[in-house]
């Protein structure tokens, strides 16, 4: 952090997927406002995100959401010190809405603009509103709808990818298996809610789902086999009962979280970091949070509202990695990597 920026107010804008979010954050941690509008209700009908619909909803929401976030922060656009915007990864149509809006503000108001990688943004959920911040080096597990990655973070902005999923992401595994069980979208919260009823039915015989790649000597993951195993169990049933759904939801959550914890533990044993961070939408999962808490001491998991997509962590990430670029150079990049 450069000197003299302690009171800096950054307007964060995040539109990478189905959430339209804007936030005003002071000094990288103090959240003056954090507004999120979601088009999830539109996508529920289809059992997953429809990119075209998501982009249209982004367009409808972007200005009202920004205006609301400035109002809540009691700040005028002209008094913002810089704009931070997610440039990728994500859905192109959705990303473009935030990116072009942010560029327009930067151009018209002559404000500095900082491009932010959505995955880096998730990590800064651990800095937002937080009194105790992680020490470096840190091992970071990013678990979201599109990503499952283990990263060695040596400093602000210094990330080394050490492993990731070879097929589906952890969030995707929740979403796809929830769909097989008819639990609706998004699957993570639906599986978690269903799994929470499990102790009531523990007279049921547990189904032992695989823990894919749990013992492999690398930091990679694979969740597509789990989806196939669930499909097989579903096909064996004459009728999908509530009891079956509860046992399966519990098993799915156990299988996914066991693998995430075991692989994070291998990375920690290998790199001996000073902190362990778990971020991204799936880090909102209570079972995962509890298992991680049992395992690691210097553990950081954002409060639930900063696990799923929001713009507070985008503003925070821009503060700690303050590298404004001319607005002409900012481009949406759906395939951006860590
Ligand atoms: O980070 P995020 O909000 O968006 C992306 O960047 O992808 O993550 C969304 C993912 C979805 O797959 C959703 O099912 C999952 O996070 N998720 C959860 C929970 N809440 C959201 N997975 C498990 N348990 C939850 N409580
Ligand atoms: Zn995300």
Percent pLDDT > 70 in the chain is 97
Q: Which of 168, 281, 290, 305 to mutate to test the pocket of ligand 1 (most atoms within 8 A of CB)?
A: 281
Q: Which of 117, 119, 144, 255 to mutate to test the pocket of ligand 1 (most atoms within 8 A of CB)?
A: 144
Residues 222-242 have pLDDT tens digits of 999 999 999 999 999 999 999
Nearest CA to ligand 1 atom 23: 188
**Position 4 pLDDT exceeds 90:** no
Q: Which residues neighbour ligand 2 (ion) by CB within 5 Å?
A: 144, 309
At residue 155, what are phi and psi to the nearest 5 degrees?
-170, 180
The average pLDDT across 122-140 equals 97
Q: What is the pLDDT of residue 199?
A: 79
Percentages helix, strand, coil for the chain, rounded to the nearest 5? 45, 20, 35
The average pLDDT across 103-128 equals 98
> In degrees to the nearest 10, what's the CA dihedral of 316, 144, 252, 194?
60
Query: HEC states along 200-240?
Result: HHCCCCCCCCCCCCCCCCCCCECCHHHHHHHHHHHHHCCCC
Instruction: Determine if residue 280 is left, alpha or beta; phi over 0 gives left, psi from -120 to 50 gives alpha, anything else beta.
Output: left
Task: Evaluate whether 26 touches 335 at the Cβ level (below 8 Å).
Answer: no
Residues 265-319 have pLDDT tens digits of 999 999 999 999 999 999 999 999 999 999 999 999 999 999 999 999 999 999 9
Residues 21-53 have pLDDT tens digits of 999 999 999 999 999 999 888 888 888 889 999
Residue 330 confidence class, pLDDT cut points 50, 70, 90:
very high
Compute the residue count for the chain: 338
Q: What is the pLDDT of residue 47?
A: 83
The average pLDDT across 50-66 equals 96
Average pLDDT, the chain: 95
List strands edge to edge, sheet with 113-117: 30-38, 19-26, 9-14, 82-88, 113-117
Closest atom of ligand 1 to 187 CA is 14
Q: How far is the CA of 187 from the centre of ligand 1 (A)?
A: 8
Q: In the chain, which ranges are E strands?
A: 9-14, 19-26, 30-38, 82-88, 113-117, 138-143, 148-155, 158-164, 275-279, 299-300
**Position 2 pLDDT exceeds 80:** no
Nearest CA to ligand 1 atom 10: 145
Question: Please, what is the angle between helix 170-180 and helix 187-195, to 10°?
Answer: 70
Q: Which ligand is nearest to the CA of 179?
A: 1
Q: Is 284 in the pocket of ligand 1 (CB under 6 A)?
A: yes
Q: What is the pLDDT of residue 200?
A: 58
Q: Which of 54, 148, 176, 188 to mutate to test the pocket of ligand 1 (most atoms within 8 A of CB)?
A: 188
Q: How far is the CA of 33 from the centre of ligand 2 (A)?
A: 19
Nearest CA to ligand 1 atom 19: 188
Q: Is 89 in the pocket of ligand 1 (CB under 6 A)?
A: no
Closest Cα to residue 213, out of 184, 180, 255?
255
Q: How far is the CA of 89 from the centre of ligand 2 (A)?
A: 9
pTM of the entire predicted model: 0.95
Task: Evaluate whether 130 touches 29 at the Cβ level (below 8 Å).
Answer: yes
CA dihedral sign, ordered 271, 275, 281, 285: positive
Residues 207-227 have pLDDT tens digits of 789 999 999 999 999 999 999
Contacts within 8 Å (CB) and 24+ apart, 329-332: 330/85, 330/87, 330/99, 330/102, 330/103, 330/113, 330/115, 331/87, 331/99, 332/87, 332/88, 332/92, 332/95, 332/96, 332/99
Name residues whose C-beta falls within 8 Å of residue 290's C-beta, 6 or more positions apart in sequence: none
Q: Is 302 in the pocket of ligand 1 (CB under 6 A)?
A: no
Name residues whose C-beta falls within 8 Å of residue 320's C-beta, 6 or more positions apart in sequence: 1, 28, 124, 127, 156, 157
Residue 3 confidence class, pLDDT cut points 50, 70, 90:
very low
Q: Which ligand is nearest to the CA of 194?
A: 1
Q: Which of 302, 308, 310, 336 to mutate to test the pocket of ligand 1 (most atoms within 8 A of CB)?
A: 308
Closest Cα to residue 289, out of 265, 264, 250, 261?
261
Q: What is the pLDDT of residue 29?
A: 96
Closest atom of ligand 1 to 146 CA is 7
Residues 145-156 have pLDDT tens digits of 999 999 999 999
Q: How far is the CA of 163 from the centre of ligand 1 (A)?
A: 20
Percent pLDDT > 90 in the chain is 90
Closest atom of ligand 1 to 185 CA is 14
Q: How buried is residue 155: exposed, middle or buried, by Cβ count under 10 Å (0-12/13-18/19+)? A: exposed
């Amino acid at each position: 952090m450069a000197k003299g920026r302690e009171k800096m107010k950054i307007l964060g804008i995040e539109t990478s997927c189905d959430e339209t979010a804007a936030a005003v954050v002071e000094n990288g941690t103090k959240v003056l406002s954090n507004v999120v509008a979601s088009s999830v209700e539109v996508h529920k009908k289809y059992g997953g995100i429809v990119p075209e619909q998501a982009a249209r909803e982004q367009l409808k929401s972007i200005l009202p959401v920004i205006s609301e976030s400035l109002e809540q922060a009691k700040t005028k656009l002209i008094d913002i010190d810089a704009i931070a915007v997610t440039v990728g990864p994500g859905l192109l149509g959705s990303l473009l809405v935030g990116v072009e809006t942010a560029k327009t503000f930067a151009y018209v108001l002559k404000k500095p603009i900082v491009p932010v990688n959505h995955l880096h943004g998730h990590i800064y959920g651990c800095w937002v509103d937080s009194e105790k911040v992680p020490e470096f080096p840190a091992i970071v597990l990013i678990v979201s709808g599109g990503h499952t990655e283990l990263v060695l973070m040596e400093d602000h902005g210094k990330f080394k990818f050490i492993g990731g999923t070879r097929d589906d992401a952890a969030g995707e595994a929740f979403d796809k298996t929830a769909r097989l069980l008819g639990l609706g979208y998004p699957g993570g919260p639906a599986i978690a809610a269903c799994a929470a009823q499990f102790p009531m039915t523990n007279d049921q015989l547990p189904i032992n789902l695989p823990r894919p790649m749990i013992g492999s000597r690398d930091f990679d993951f694979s969740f597509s086999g789990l989806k196939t195993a669930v499909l097989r169990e579903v096909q064996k049933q004459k009728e999908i009962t509530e009891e079956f759904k509860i046992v399966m939801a519990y098993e799915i959550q156990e299988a996914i979280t066991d693998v995430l914890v075991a692989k994070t533990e291998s990375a920690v044993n290998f790199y001996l970091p000073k902190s362990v961070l778990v971020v991204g939408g799936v880090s909102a999962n209570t079972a995962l949070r509890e298992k991680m808490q049992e395992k690691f001491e210097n553990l950081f998991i954002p409060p639930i509202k900063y696990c799923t997509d929001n713009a507070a962590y985008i503003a925070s990430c821009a503060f700690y990695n303050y590298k404004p670029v001319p607005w002409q150079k900012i481009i949406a990049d759906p395939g951006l990597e860590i």
